[in-house]
């Protein structure tokens, strides 16, 4: 069975990169099932893979794979599927686990069953699953095609997702006493630094998003951040600001939960989304940190209906991969 784990880890990579599988390791009568799709032959299994690759640009991350029973192997994963045929190019995100049933004697894979983290009902045919997919197709928010901090979605639920961010560099300034969570205070100061107000008189590239760090208990700790280009991973390479109120700093790897909303963010909308996200995290057994971030992705010319805004809350005690007992609501059904 351990050999099967190693084989599947390799074959999954080939599956999404080339649309191929090692057919001899899969039963001719393999049963594939996810909440909205079902096939009962190897030909159907392969057809489904090729169909997805035809219409989507697929990114797949395998997080773990292990023997989970005398004849089962379980994998956890994240998958992003960019549907390029629509003008707004919706990016569908799924996370979950796959349970493979294997013949222990021959190593032949007999079934492949997917469970999505976002659903309460995972068995085929799931109306909840169809609604979840349609809702993602209709998500119109636009992410600009410029540099952004790299993150991986580890858990995607119906209302929010949990990410791990790779380290990135920022320029930061205080927003001043009394600045609301959706205030633009500090933006002009950071823009001057970015476009030449620095020791090298260097104009650097704008990135996305613009972060605002809100600490409800203290106005003095409310700050705005511009993310710097990846080439400035070394702080020593980043030009010093001419304005002493601007600081350069490195943000470490972190786990964060995110909830998305459209429009021009107003103070009450930001606060409402923060409260909703915090309540959902507590409901699901997580420990949200004090404070939160507002992330704004779009320039002022972007229409409100397609603007991407997010509220993020750090999860300092988050453990990945998650222990099986984190929350009964997250176990496959």
- The closest alpha carbon to 123, from 32, 35, 40, belongs to 35
Q: What are phi and psi of 44, to 5 degrees?
A: -65, -40
* Pairing verdict, β 210-214 and 246-251: unpaired
Within the chain, how many helices (H) and strands (E) appear?
5, 15
Q: Residue 210, exposed/middle/buried by CB under 10 A (0-12, 13-18, 19+)? A: buried
Q: Tell me, what's the pLDDT at 326?
A: 38
Beta bridge partners of 116: 96
pLDDT over 60 at 5, yes or no: yes
Q: Tell me, what's the pLDDT at 51?
A: 96
Looking at the chain, list the stretches that DSSP marks H as alpha helix, in order from N- to C-terminal side.
2-18, 42-55, 127-137, 187-194, 267-283
Q: b/e for 261-281, b at 16 or more Cβ within 10 A? A: bbeebeeebbbebbeebbebb
Q: What's the mean pLDDT when you consider all of the chain? A: 94
pLDDT over 50 at 190, yes or no: yes
pLDDT over 90 at 267, yes or no: yes
- Domains, in order of start, for the chain: 2-139 (3.10.450.50), 140-333 (3.20.80.10)
Q: From CA 184, how far away is CA 182, in angstroms rounded? A: 7
pTM assigned to the model: 0.92
Residues 44-72 have pLDDT tens digits of 999 999 999 999 999 999 999 999 999 99
Lowest-confidence region among 15-19, 135-139, 317-321: 15-19
Identify the band that residue 180 occupies on the pLDDT scale cut at 50, 70 and 90: confident
Q: How distant is the alpha carbon of residue 113 from its chain centre?
A: 23
Beta bridge partners of 213: 223, 293
Q: Tell me, what's the pLDDT at 177?
A: 74
Question: What is the CB neighbour count within 10 angstroms for residue 92?
Answer: 18
Residues 73-95 have pLDDT tens digits of 999 999 999 999 999 999 999 99
């Amino acid at each position: 069975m351990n050999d099967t784990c190693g084989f599947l880890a390799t074959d999954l990579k080939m599956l999404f990169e080339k649309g191929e599988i090692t057919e001899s390791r899969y039963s001719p009568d393999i049963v594939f099932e996810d909440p909205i799709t079902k096939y009962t032959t190897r030909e159907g299994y392969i057809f489904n893979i090729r169909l997805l690759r035809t219409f989507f640009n697929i990114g797949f991350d395998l997080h773990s794979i292990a023997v989970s029973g005398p004849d089962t192997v379980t994998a956890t994963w994240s998958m992003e599927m960019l549907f390029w045929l629509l003008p707004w190019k919706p990016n569908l995100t799924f996370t979950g686990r796959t349970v493979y049933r294997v013949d222990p004697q021959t190593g032949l894979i007999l079934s492949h069953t997917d469970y999505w983290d976002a659903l309460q009902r995972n068995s085929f045919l799931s109306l909840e699953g169809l609604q979840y997919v349609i809702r993602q197709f209709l998500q119109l928010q636009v992410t600009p095609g410029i540099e952004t901090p790299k993150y991986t979605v580890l858990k995607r639920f119906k209302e929010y997702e949990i990410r791990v961010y790779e380290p990135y560099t920022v320029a930061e300034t205080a927003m001043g006493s009394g600045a609301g969570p959706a205030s633009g205070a500090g933006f002009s100061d950071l823009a001057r630094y970015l476009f030449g107000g620095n020791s090298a008189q260097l104009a650097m590239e704008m990135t996305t998003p613009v972060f605002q760090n809100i600490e409800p208990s203290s106005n003095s700790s409310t700050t705005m951040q511009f993310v710097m280009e990846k080439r400035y991973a070394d702080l020593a390479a980043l030009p010093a600001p001419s304005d002493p109120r601007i600081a350069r700093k490195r943000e470490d790897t972190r786990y964060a939960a995110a909830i998305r909303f459209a429009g021009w963010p107003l103070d009450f909308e930001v606060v409402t989304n923060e409260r909703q996200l915090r309540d959902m995290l507590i409901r699901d057994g997580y420990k949200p940190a004090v404070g939160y971030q507002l992330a704004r992705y779009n320039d002022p010319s972007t229409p409100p209906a397609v603007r991407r805004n997010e509220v993020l809350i750090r999860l300092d005690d988050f453990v990945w991969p998650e222990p099986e007992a984190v929350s009964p609501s997250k176990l496959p059904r």
